[in-house]
Amino acid sequence: MGSNKVNRRRFVAGTAAASAAFVAAPFVRGAYAAGKLSVGFWDHWVPGANKATEALVKEWADKEKVEVSMDFITSQGNKLLLTTAAESTAKSGHDVLAFSTWLPSRYADQLVPMNDVVEPLIKANGPVNGTVEYLGKVGGKWLAVPATSGSQIKGPCSRIDLLKKHAGIDIQAMYPAGAPPKADGWNLDTFLKAAEACQKGGNPFGLGLGATSDSVDTAGALFHAFGAQLVNEKGDITVKSDPVRQALDYYKKLMAFLPPDVPSWDDASNNKFLVSGQGSLIMNPPSAWAVAKRDAPQIAEQLWTHGFPAGPKGRYAPFLPFFWGTWNFSKNQSAAKSLVTHLSQASSAEKMVIASGGYDLPAFANLTTFKVWAEEGPPKGTLYHYPNPHNHQTLSIAAAPAPHKIAEQIYTQAIQTQMVVRFAKGEAMDKTLDWAAKELEGFSRN
Amino acid sequence: MANTAVATGASTRPNYGSMSRDRTWALRWSYFFLVLFAIFFLMPPIYMLITSLKTSAEISAAKNPWWISNPTLQNYIELLTQNQFLVFFRNSAIVSICVVIITMLISVIAAFALARMKFWGSATLATGVFLTYLIPETLLFIPLFKMFAWVNEVFGVQLMNHWWTMIILYPTLTVPFATWIMIGYFASIPKELDEAALIDGATWMQTLTKIFIPVALPGIIAATIFTFTVSWAQFLYPLAFTTSTSELVLPVGIVTTLIKGDVFNWGQIMTGALLGAAPPLIIYAFLMDYYIAGLTAGATKG
Amino acid sequence: MADIAARNPAVVTGDRRSSLHKLMQRKSTIAFLMALPLILLLAILVAYPAGFAVYLATLNKGMTRFVGFGNFEFLFGRDTFWLVVYQSCLFAITAVIFKAIIGFVVAHFVHNIPSKGQRKWRGMLLVPWVIPPAMSTLAWLWLFDPSYSALNWILAHFGIGNVPWTGEAGWARFSVILVNVWIGSPFFMIMYLAALKSVPEQLYEAASIDGATWWQRIWYVTLPMMRNIIAITALFSLIVTFANFDIVRVLTAGGPLNSTHIFGTWAFRVGIEGGDIPLGAAVSLFMVPILAVAATFILRDITKRGSEV
């Protein structure tokens, strides 16, 4: 018992010394040799993509002599969200955890600021986009580090043959591989006409209108294209405004050309719709294409990932970042920061991008031109425009720029897609807006 | 017993033409509808089996979903060689077996005390046990979530994210029902039996182990099967309280790790679901009569 | 039933020999000790959390402040909450009625056929009840899949177009109820079958001699004899269906447009996924009044039958 106590005291002193050393010189290595580190990553949807992360962690662990245990936690059924909630309540858990979109701001009080990690990364790899900054930096503090693994743009992925056949659109000419897009005519009107033509031809567009992130992200980007905000950055409810009405009107027209069951779609439904050969366009990162490559190669050859159509207020595409963060109750914060730094280096990011077949998207501006995107195929160059290499579209997140607490609720309760479905199913515009306003009022509760 | 009466009644009844023709038709209709219902009841498990024998390419091709053109055991091989799945299976097996043991120990002893020995408040307790059976776990998981955090703060024991926490939690779902079944069985044992034993100098414990347990064995088996089925199938508690893949039990493991948001592998999901359903199904296939006895115990005894 | 059983031995044995009498005095202590594990388990992991839920429901979102009925007032102002109340009742009542009817009908058919075949049929028809609901719901989810639905494939042969099983509010509710009925009706079937077998055959013979039609036999003989069983099974099932979690969670997760959320799933969404534990506790507490009503009925039934014994 006695010796045990001494040990613990020595251990506490040791960690204190380590953190003191850490404050003085942030990236001194080898100061946490005694440490154990547990890490919870997002369980990647692309088969085999976890391997790169595993290898990188092992590389770091061997170098630093730290024993690392890794969990890959799926976001399916909100499992990752649940894990985060459980760890925050129990005040114990992983030392490094993947925080999805809204969670850094939700747990702002319990996270260790990461400015000393993020700022050097920005210096080395270029600035991050506005969405990442909105989600990850609150009150001047970086709450977590933008992660490569799992971050994604959910742009359109279309069937080259079907768009040509039904709508007369040559999507490869509009978004040529290796060159800037020539897509000035690619706007919401063209999009609507193409949706109609494809639906008439028997291969509708597959835009989900359910409550999961794929559906919400698409709706969010289209709302942004109209400048439609449900709540503004000051927290005022602005749902009863003309841009919101325009967005709903547009969506109502669009929904007539979508499959009737889109309100129940989850993140897998659109992929299945495309891979089964029924659909001609979905909004998704390249995982649908990756599955098609495995299960239905003849369809994969006809897939092309490209940019969003432009609306009256601009061209927006949904960007869904993941973050790596550390709880303030973590016992080994310095090691955690060191690991995250290691995972965020350009070379690490490239390894993750390659392993995920181009799915993962680093948040830093200089890291969007890896060779893998230009080379992946078939068809060759299908992913060239996926990382938005020519800054052709504004990367956005649904419900921004509302205050985080409200925006998160708008996002997770899928208020935008619910509004669309209500209105498109024949509810009066004012009734839909009233309903939304009432829900939004509830979100400001604390 | 009653059905033998029906059968003999039918065969000994003299053959008035219309009466027996009525019966034949009633029988035909009965079979016809039973076949219909059997199709309805067995369709999902059969479809599970069909899908589990297909490759994902065949599933994606979206041809006749009820036919397998290239049967393969690949899904089973992949799943059963996958470490993660075996971990789920092991967790589920250990949890279920421990829960069965704990439940039977607690409930048999308590049921004996409640059915045969009187103490202050025993009647209220018997009613109370019955009432807790009516409190669903959907009411309890949120306070438990908070209680666990409190236990961690005060005692430093982390109950969150451990499969063995389920061994503590599941008995709340199984003990009331098992106790209830056992009270019913014990109550049906003639009182002269234990009185005689007591007068002969046996202790209460001896009365229980030497007389009651052997006599009530069918009831105990029924309660055991029932407890096993309930703890194998429990979904909400493990979903709420465990997260790491090494800590999941089978149903939650299958639902959360085999379905990956964007990428779907229904062949494997159905294989997993079928393997997850297998242990209760196998036990049921062998011990069906006990299982049914357990289900209907309340009906015939209570 | 239980209290009768507990009371009788003492009455009978009270005036026996004195050695037995001494034993009796120690008996209550032993009995209490034997029931102690049960009492502790239920007190710590059922009764205490149930009480704790009431306390939690009176706190604010951050659990820093007492707000009294604030959470309930907030809930009463939410359309979604009333939708959940409506759906929970709709699902539970509709599903139980159909379970009862199907269970009754199937039990009759099984009872009708010669006894040596009964065991086989009974075994087959009970399978849905044995499979863990989360697993069988996965099979249903796959049968309902929008792009690959095997049910729609069959229906297409009858000229019926794509049914959005989980895609439209009405159909999604239907699907949830369907799966509930599928899982639950075998239980009714087996209970009714046991009850049917306990109806004396002479009653039917007497009825048919009086010239009763099959319908009259069911109405005047079978149903009255089975009244108790039907009531108890239905009430039990009502509670289980009402508090259901896994079916809805796996099948629709509450969608589309919250049209299939019930108390359990919505409490999970609000309390654990949404991080508002007090509000989640408040939501699940709303199950209590309904459970209490059911419990009263069941208890009345049990004590009534207890006094009949």
Q: Answer whether residue B130 is part of any domain.
A: yes
SS3 A157: strand
User: Are A446 and C62 within 8 A, CB to CB?
Assistant: yes
Contact A317, A308 (CB under 8 A): yes
Strand bridging mode A96-100 / A36-42: parallel
In total, how many domains does chain A have? Answer: 2
Average pLDDT, chain A: 84
Contact B58, B266 (CB under 8 A): no
User: Are A92 and B153 within 8 A, CB to CB?
Assistant: no
Question: In this model, does residue B185 exceed pLDDT 50?
Answer: yes
Amino acid residing at A199? Q
A240 and A386 fall within a common domain: yes
Give the per-residue pLDDT at C25. Answer: 58
A256 and A355 fall within a common domain: no
Q: How far is B259 from chain A (nearest CA, A)?
A: 7
List the single range of A244-258, B28-42, C77-91, C295-309 with lowest mean pLDDT.
C295-309
Point out the residues of chain C with pLDDT beneath 70.
Answer: 1-25, 301-309
With contact defined as 3+ CB pairs under 8 Å, the chains touching C are A, B
What is the residue range of C50's domain? 2-56
C290 and C203 fall within a common domain: yes
C154 and C274 fall within a common domain: yes
Give the per-residue pLDDT at C237. Answer: 87
Q: Answer whether residue C237 is part of any domain.
A: yes
A265 and A162 fall within a common domain: yes
A314 and A339 fall within a common domain: no
**Residue A30 structure tokens:** 């080898």
Mean pLDDT within A152-170 = 90
Q: How many CB atoms lie within 10 A of CB A34?
A: 15
A to C CB pairs, distance under 8 Å: 81
Report how many helices (DSSP H) and strands (DSSP E) chain A contains, helices first.
20, 12
| Closest chain C CA to residue A409 | C274
Mean pLDDT within A380-401 = 87
Regarding an ipTM greater than 0.95, the answer is no
Q: Answer whether residue B54 is part of any domain.
A: no
Q: Answer whether residue B127 is part of any domain.
A: yes
**Chain B environment of C38 (Cβ under 8 Å):** 106-107, 110, 125, 129, 175, 179
Q: Answer whether residue A180 is part of any domain.
A: yes
Q: How many CB atoms lie within 10 A of CB A177?
A: 17
Predicted confidence (pLDDT) per residue in C212-228, tens digit: 777 888 888 888 878 77
In total, how many domains does chain B have? Answer: 1
| Closest chain A CA to residue C271 | A85
| Closest chain C CA to residue B234 | C132
Q: What value, to the nearest 5°, has the Cα angle with vertex B154 and ends B152 and B160?
A: 10
Q: Answer whether residue C296 is part of any domain.
A: yes
C169 and C27 fall within a common domain: no
Most confident listed range (A23-27, A37-41, B194-198):
A37-41
- Chain A interface test: which of C147, C163, C174, C270 (most A C-beta within 10 Å): C147
A69 and A188 fall within a common domain: no
Give the C-alpha separation, C124 to C126, whole Å: 6
A162 and A289 fall within a common domain: yes
Which among A134, A150, A160, A322 is positioned nearest to A233, based on CA atoms?
A: A134
Interfacial B residues in 168-187 facing C (CB < 8 Å) = 168-169, 171-172, 175-176, 179, 183-184, 186-187
With contact defined as 3+ CB pairs under 8 Å, the chains touching A are B, C
Give the per-residue pLDDT at C137. Answer: 92
Could you give phi then psi for residue C289, rounded to 5 degrees? Answer: -55, -40
SS3 content of chain C, % helix, strand, coil (to 5): 80, 0, 20
Here the CATH number for the domain that contains residue B246 is 1.10.3720.10
What is the residue range of B266's domain? 82-301
Angle between helices B17-52 and C169-197 (to 10 degrees): 130
Could you give phi then psi for residue B174, rounded to 5 degrees? Answer: -100, -35
Give the per-residue pLDDT at C296. Answer: 81
Contact A129, A119 (CB under 8 A): no
Amino acid residing at B137? E
Nearest to A272 among C62, C78, C147 (CB): C147
Q: Answer whether residue A19 is part of any domain.
A: no
Which among A305, A291, A316 is positioned nearest to A218, based on CA atoms?
A: A316
Q: CB-based contact (8 Å) between A255 and chain C? A: no
Q: How far is C164 from chain A (nearest CA, A)?
A: 5
**Residue A119 structure tokens:** 């700022």
- Chain B interface test: which of A79, A212, A289 (most B C-beta within 10 Å): A79
Question: In this model, does residue A14 exceed pLDDT 70?
Answer: no
Q: What value, to the nearest 5°, has the Cα angle with vertex C44 and ends C39 and C49?
A: 130
Question: In this model, does residue A34 exceed pLDDT 70?
Answer: no
% of chain A surpassing 70 pLDDT: 92
Give the per-residue pLDDT at C303. Answer: 58
- Chain B interface test: which of C15, C20, C27, C42 (most B C-beta within 10 Å): C42
Q: How far is CA A437 from CA A236, A431, A440, C80, in A?
A: 10, 10, 5, 13
Nearest to A73 among B148, B243, B263 (CB): B243
% of chain B surpassing 70 pLDDT: 89
Question: In this model, does residue B17 exceed pLDDT 70?
Answer: no
Q: How far is C244 from chain A (nearest CA, A)?
A: 17
Q: Answer whether residue A353 is part of any domain.
A: yes
Question: In this model, does residue B232 exceed pLDDT 90?
Answer: yes
Beta-carbon contacts of A260 under 8 Å, excluding residues fewer than 6 positions away, are C162, C164, C167, C168
Cross-strand bridge partners of residue A318: A396
Interfacial C residues in 71-130 facing A (CB < 8 Å) = 74, 77-80
C239 alpha-carbon distance from chain centroid = 4
A103 and A173 fall within a common domain: no
Q: Answer whether residue B69 is part of any domain.
A: no
C170 and C284 fall within a common domain: yes
A255 alpha-carbon distance from chain centroid = 24
Can you give the pTM of this predicted structure? Answer: 0.81
Confidence of residue A65 (pLDDT cuts 50, 70, 90): confident
What are the start-end ranges of the H helices in B164-235? 165-169, 171-187, 191-199, 204-206, 213-215, 217-233
Give the per-residue pLDDT at A97. Answer: 93
**Chain C environment of A435 (Cβ under 8 Å):** 79
Contact C42, B128 (CB under 8 A): yes
Q: Answer whether residue A7 is part of any domain.
A: no
Amino acid residing at A343? L
Q: Answer whether residue C67 is part of any domain.
A: no
Nearest to B138 among C232, C233, C264 (CB): C264
Give the C-alpha separation, A383 to A374, whole Å: 6
Q: What value, to the nearest 5°, has the Cα angle with vertex A277 and ends A271 and A279?
A: 65
Amino acid residing at C41? L
What is the residue range of A94's domain? 30-152+320-367
**Chain B environment of A294 (Cβ under 8 Å):** 56-57
Q: How far is CA C149 from CA A366, B255, C1, in A?
A: 45, 19, 49
Strand order in the sheet with A303-305: A205-206, A281-283, A156-159, A303-305
Question: In this model, does residue B260 exceed pLDDT 90?
Answer: no
Q: What is the enclosing helix (H) or strand (E) of B82?
A: none
A362 and A382 fall within a common domain: no
Q: How many residues does chain C have?
A: 309
B interface toward A at CB cutoff 8 Å? 56-57, 59-62, 145-146, 148-149, 152-153, 158, 160-161, 239-241, 243-246, 255-257, 259-264
Provide the Cα torsion C62, C68, C71, C77; round to 10°: -140
SS3 C5: helix
Q: Answer whether residue C236 is part of any domain.
A: yes
Beta-carbon contacts of A134 under 8 Å, excluding residues fewer than 6 positions away, are A397, A400, A401
Nearest to A86 among B160, B246, B262 (CB): B160
Give the per-residue pLDDT at C24. Answer: 57
A206 and A230 fall within a common domain: yes
Q: What value, to the nearest 5°, has the Cα angle with vertex B255 and ends A422 and B286?
A: 130
C36 and C184 fall within a common domain: no
- Whether a cis peptide bond, with omega within 30° of 0, leads into B171 is no
Q: How far is C101 from chain B (nearest CA, A)?
A: 13
**Residue A424 structure tokens:** 């498109």
Question: In this model, does residue B157 exceed pLDDT 90?
Answer: no
Which among A129, A155, A317, A135 is positioned nearest to A225, based on CA atoms?
A: A317
Nearest to C39 among B123, B125, B280 (CB): B125
Give the C-alpha separation, C258 to C80, whole Å: 7
Here the CATH number for the domain that contains residue A424 is 3.40.190.10
Q: Answer whether residue A15 is part of any domain.
A: no
A185 and A289 fall within a common domain: yes
Q: Answer whether residue A11 is part of any domain.
A: no
Predicted confidence (pLDDT) per residue in B160-180, tens digit: 888 999 999 999 989 988 888
Give the per-residue pLDDT at A297. Answer: 87
B130 alpha-carbon distance from chain centroid = 18
Question: In this model, does residue A19 exceed pLDDT 60?
Answer: no
Q: Answer whether residue C16 is part of any domain.
A: yes
Q: Answer whether residue B8 is part of any domain.
A: no
Here the CATH number for the domain that contains residue C260 is 1.10.3720.10
User: Are B2 and C110 within 8 A, CB to CB?
Assistant: no
Contact C295, B131 (CB under 8 A): yes
Give the per-residue pLDDT at C17. Answer: 54
Q: CB-based contact (8 Å) between B9 and chain C? A: yes
- Residue reference for tokens 């490209």: A306
In total, how many domains does chain C have? Answer: 2
Cross-strand bridge partners of residue A71: A40
User: Are C164 and A260 within 8 A, CB to CB?
Assistant: yes
